[in-house]
Amino acid sequence: MVLLERIAVLPYSQVIEKEPIFPLFLILVVILVVPILFERLRLPRLIGLILSGILIGNSGWELFDINNSTWTLLSKIGLAYLLFVAGLEVDLNQFHRRRNRALGFGSFAFAIPLLLGTLLGRIFEFDWLSSILIGSILASYSLLAYPIINRLGLVNNNEAVGITIGASILTDIAALLMLAICVAIHLKDLNPGQTIALLGWLIVYCVVVLIGFEWAGKEFLRRSGEDEGNQFLFVLLALFIAAIGAQLIGIEIIVAAFFAGLAVNQVIEDGPVKQKIVFVGSLLFIPIFFVDLGFKLDLPMFIKNIGMLSFTLFLILSLIISKFIAALLAKLIYHYNWREIFTMWSISLPQVGITSCVTLVGYQAELLPLEVFNSVIILILVTSLIGPIITSRVAVGLHSSLIKQQETPANYDVSQKIDSPFSIIVPVYNPQTQQHLMEMAALLAHQTQGKIIPLAIATAAAHMDAPQLENSLKRSEILLNKATALSRILDVEAEPLLRIDDAFAQGISRAAREKKANLIVMGWGKRTGLKARLFGNVIDGVLWASHCPVAVTRLVESPSKIQRILVPVENLTAPILQPVQFAQILALANQAQVTVLNVCDRRTSSSKISWRRSQLSLLVSKLGLSNPPEIQIVAHENVAQAILQAARLYDLVVLPFIRNRTIPGGLAISDVTTQLASQLTCSIIMLGEPAQRTNNAAVTADVASNQLPVISKQLTVDS
């Protein structure tokens, strides 16, 4: 009541000054609403965040005091968090697979923009340090178009795209090192001898952090156990030690944050700990940083200063030209085609993560004037908009070429047989969903001449005679007895298994590996919102750890009543065969019909739609099915809406579920699968591939050769 009375008598500006909760409330509203709005407009979320900062900051309504100590602290945390996540999210697999060519293109992509940027700075009469820093700002790039090329299946299947992703490591590291050197020379007025000494310490620092931390982390986790708590503690320890080392040699903390993230990248790998670290940053701290960039932009000064308008124009042109020259050199040396060169060029255009951090630190160190800071913010907005648009246009041609070149994988050979019985793990925990899960598993087992392994997990206690463990064991035995009785009714072989383990997810994935299971069938988890993403759930843990496919089901009726099955596919490449042949197994059990649906852009011509239909039919024919599925191609502006409309006529939708790598902060990702899972009203099966299979196409083929594709061929022969 007192607070309401104060609000009634105070102007809004005084309310903000007196009640710090209001600015925080305003920012949370911006972070929640604006990214969703811009995603629906099919624009990068970070553009909305920066524009929001401009609108409510000093250049707009002046609703916010950017000198507030709380806000300053949050912005600094966001800056460090962004660089830490940038190092944590680097795709080291792409770099290692094509190391030599990635280093080659990375050298071009860094050196040429550095030279042009430095020349531009000198032309506009900036000193040498400022000019070199301007050049290093242009040298790095952000993988803002990663979701596009990943959706087209180009990440692992096109060398030019792969080396562009791998080369970003070199450009990011080099840009940060240039920042550390320039800022140190500027603030400490170093002479040539001291500068050489700083370079030596930087080399030692990089070696110790990148090599030493990785070795120490793997040794620590090997000796102490690879649980999430130990991994999280190691991440914090690595970050603090890297920060202390950076202070000792006199370089910026943000450089330490990036190298710490890069060092622990291989230690924690793509597990739940990395997911939660990235999620917390992308949810709060990183968006705050981008809003702060908008706050600091002085738009009236930028518009009035004609000289800075011309500098901004030349800055954008320098970036576009230099990145194209780098891609052109890659064409001359590595003999790529023109479409690959334009794709490499467009991927390397967006300037977001490292660029914004380097610019802000240079501005705060008074190495870059406000005019340059304003120009770089405009550069970020322009390149983050045009880069993904160009990529979406030119990369489609590479996707089409990939489809034409793709050969039938060896794992689809009809002559292959099954070395051991096909086994399906069915974790039983919820009595309400147990019957439908067992029915689903029974349908699959009948068609594959396999067996079901009902699995109950009793969570371990400190003592094996603890009452809690005893109660858990009794409950598990009751569930297994019910599952065994159901298996007799369903006329399928069952091998019940009771396991004591530390956690449900670990117990399921370990039991599946020990039993050499070919598939895990699980029920839908209750926690699917914010709480689940923060703390994880059993499904997350199984998907991260399992060695075989995981079918996560939400069944609204008995599986035996399923007559029409829809399989939406995004790419016309071999990985789509896994959900298609999975659906076909279910269809054979119920004499049902499978429809494979591909949604293309609404502007696609009729001839291209016909071509896509023929290519999809050709790809599906590689399964050699006796009753091939129906093929549908739909032109629509919204993929999720097109699938939702089509799904109204079907009993079951089978969705492929692959954890995609995100850019730092995940600010440009739109997950169609998540939208469908929350809006579909029919039964759903999300077929999740093991985590290791999302990183390497060769590994995918090798693992799949012992899983469902073999079963599909066996079915064809038997039927």
pLDDT tens-digit readout, 164-187: 888 888 888 888 888 888 888 887
- Give the tens place of pLDDT for each residue, 654-664: 887 755 444 44
- Portions of the chain given CATH number 3.40.50.12370: 410-718
* 392 confidence band (pLDDT: 50, 70, 90): confident
Specify the pLDDT at position 668: 35
| Helix, strand, coil percentages, rounded to 5, for the chain | 65, 10, 25
Confidence check: pLDDT of 26 > 90: no
Q: What is the CB-side half-sphere exposure of residue 545 using CA atoms within 13 A?
A: 22
Distance CA 450, CA 590 (A): 17
* Between 42 and 211, residue with greater pLDDT: 211
CB atoms within 10 A of CB 90: 24
Q: Which of 484-493, 559-568, 602-611, 679-688 has the lowest mean pLDDT?
A: 602-611
Confidence check: pLDDT of 3 > 50: no
CA 432 to chain centre: 34
Over residues 335-352, mean pLDDT: 87
Most trustworthy range by pLDDT among 17-26, 111-120, 275-284: 111-120
Q: Which pair of tokens denotes residue 275?
A: 């997911």
Average pLDDT, the chain: 75
Specify the pLDDT at position 64: 64
Alpha helix (H) residue ranges in 577-671: 577-590, 606-621, 639-647
How many degrees, rounded to 5, is the angle at CA 554 between CA 548 and CA 559? 90
Specify the pLDDT at position 618: 77
Topology of the domain comprising 410-718: Rossmann fold (3.40.50)
Architecture of the CATH domain 44-405? Up-down Bundle (1.20)
Q: Could you give the angle at which helices 253-268 and 213-224 cross, rounded to 10 degrees?
A: 40
Specify the pLDDT at position 226: 62
| Predicted structure pTM score | 0.65
Distance CA 151, CA 153 (A): 5
Contact 640, 676 (CB under 8 A): yes
Confidence check: pLDDT of 468 > 70: yes
Cα distances (Å, whole numbers) of residue 630 to 55, 220, 476, 584, 700: 51, 53, 43, 11, 26
Over residues 608-621, mean pLDDT: 78
Over residues 500-519, mean pLDDT: 84
Specify the pLDDT at position 465: 65
- Give the tens place of pLDDT for each residue, 50-93: 888 888 776 666 666 666 666 777 777 888 888 888 777 777 77
How many degrees, rounded to 5, is the angle at CA 182 between CA 178 and CA 185? 140
Specify the pLDDT at position 304: 72
Q: Which three-class secondary structure state does DSSP give residue 58?
A: coil
* Between 241 and 678, residue with greater pLDDT: 241
Amino acid at site 663? I
Phi, psi of 363 (to 5 degrees): -70, -45
Contact 571, 399 (CB under 8 A): yes
Specify the pLDDT at position 706: 36
Distance CA 625, CA 631 (A): 14
DSSP lists the bridge partners of residue 595 as: 566, 630
DSSP lists the bridge partners of residue 452 as: 424, 494
- Portions of the chain given CATH number 1.20.1530.20: 44-405
Which H/E stretch holds residue 458?
strand 451-459
* 227 confidence band (pLDDT: 50, 70, 90): low
Percent of the chain with pLDDT over 90: 2
Contact 688, 543 (CB under 8 A): yes
Specify the pLDDT at position 664: 40
Confidence check: pLDDT of 667 > 60: no
Specify the pLDDT at position 450: 84
Confidence check: pLDDT of 115 > 90: yes
Over residues 706-718, mean pLDDT: 35
Specify the pLDDT at position 119: 92
Specify the pLDDT at position 249: 78
Distance CA 64, CA 60 (A): 10
- Give the tens place of pLDDT for each residue, 301-320: 777 776 678 888 999 999 99
Q: Which of 214-218, 464-468, 488-492 has the lowest mean pLDDT?
A: 464-468
